[in-house]
Amino acid sequence: MGTKKRGNGQGSVYKLANGKWCAERTIGYDAAGLRKTKKKSGFHTKKEALAFLQSEKFAKSLARFACSLVNALSTAHSRYQLFAIHSFSHLRSTLAKSPKTPSFRAFLML
């Protein structure tokens, strides 16, 4: 009978000599290529340790989503700024040619 395995990046759960359970996950690699791990021990049951790994996985995916959302918003903001600058300069040059609406032209020159 085979043992259950977790996939790559899902972490490890093992029992310590004192009877407690430990959860460990690789969070990345340093410049030398060595693994950086996050480890927490002291769980009374294996289910608690597995729940910790799942909560860490959720927190990591939530942080990744937040970063992608911030990047998307900053990209949209910069595109809007470029559009506004181009549109405003085009509007300014168009109205500068027209002698009509002097008050609006004065507003644009501010």
pTM above 0.85, yes or no: no
Query: For position 17, what pLDDT does the model report?
Result: 94
pLDDT below 50 — which residues of the chain? none
Query: For position 20, what pLDDT does the model report?
Result: 94
Q: Residue 63 corresponds to which amino acid?
A: A
What b-and-e string marks burial along 71-102, b requiring 16 or more CB atoms within 10 Å of the CB? eeeeeeeeeeeeeeeeeeeeeeeebeeeeeee
For residue 33, CA distances in Å to 8, 10, 29, 36, 49 come to 17, 19, 5, 9, 27
Query: For position 106, what pLDDT does the model report?
Result: 60
